[in-house]
Structure 1
């Protein structure tokens, strides 16, 4: 198939697979955009939601939202089987997509480090925490992500390549001078992305979750921080949160990075459709983040009810069931 061959020349099987992938990616994109906008709006709308944990949550939602804004371009590329947007769009898509991908992983890691510090040293950490400090940390994560993305941002180029036995116009990432060794450049890019964007954050977050859960299961720590049943409830909530976050991260982004890793270190040929489906699935991580990080929180549910059900705010104090009481050492442990 040449670069000018229209999509209706694809076989029936290919059209079915591409249409199904388009549907899945479109659902993830629509749900993710709505969910992340809702999360950001609630944090800005309700003063009681402006807490240190929610600063991280706001930035994670923003990063996921940015990823989803370029998702239609990715979906369309796999829908028609070729790149039709030109070199400028290739560079812009690469800069936005990979910067946001790195930023999401870095922000989640920074947030979990903050939670780990709160668990291990609750009193000291609470005195050091501030909204400004959290915002500066998030900004530094975005800048770090931009630096990490430079190998993609400055090397994006539209080229003619053979994809599943056909010639097609694609957006690739390597220096023009590397045209004689494109396969080596592609393998290096895949290893770089998988190592920095998946393996390192996964190892760090998994280690932090294990340490957090072990600490919260320490009955003496429960009694000294929150006491009895309250401590057990906190332990259960954080355990579930850790399990959801870790499982979603692995299930949604793991196949894509496994596809990259296998393509980089072996001569096994994986079809374009494998890459297409793993990328569509990776969009699900951005779509599910609002549910995992926000909608499981007590205060978020209360704010959503107040926002959509026109509930009157309580006359005194915070919403019933809030875990943000100033005397609770575990107030910062859960997503608020």
Structure 2
């Protein structure tokens, strides 16, 4: 068997909650052409001249609300996941972030320090679903670093695991205990993306977003269609849980800018739900396997305020799987399937 190493890759985090660190992090994040897919000059004006100066103070305040004594929750949890996986997989393992520390070179060098004769590295993007602004940009980032640094070991990647039976089972079982409570609806809140990103990743050019039923109509584009993949995750998980369609719905969070994004929007739906008779709400965010700003602040804190202030009676955020044993076991299996 080849001498291999494993890199777990997550979104990333600022180094601290200070304003300079937030500016640095947001600039790197939003200048990614796969996140804001505008021409470089326009993107630079938008990001450096408008978005970062405006968002940095607000983001710093939001991070302060969820920051742990050990540091950024996302970084801490990813390291804990690495340690939990090390009990099931004997290969050397490191972590990298798409934005911020640790950078790809540090992750590669950490593996080489443990195994100078490394023959292959398995890159594990911790994104269940394919999107150009998450999975695709992470793989491109690591691939470019691998080539630029001249490493001789092979680089392989685990595919999106949105419908993998072990992932679906782990996600369903992480939700199941909360269904014992009295609730009206379970809301699957996925990270939003612009509609044009869905269209850009459609290799046929004529399937995605063309009909209400396109996510359920077989197509080669489903391999790279975020909308299809999140929809299938919801369908498979609720089937596993035996949850009827009347008890759950799906939305998309974290919208940025005025361009059309996938609908419905979580921030719009939460205040609307109480008036529709949904008084007791459960919310889960399956775009993320590790809790982070988008789950702990946006959903658990602000989402709860929006719902309760609009007449809701109870609101429960269901945490990400983080290092739950079934998830760790599922991920180990997904890694070991890479040939």
Q: TM-score, normalised by structure 2?
A: 0.29
Q: Which has more helix, going by share of residues?
A: 1
Q: TM-score, normalised by structure 1?
A: 0.29
Larger Rg: 1
Tell which has more relative contact order, 1 or 2 (C-alpha 8 A, sep 6+). 1
Q: Which has more strand, going by share of residues?
A: 2
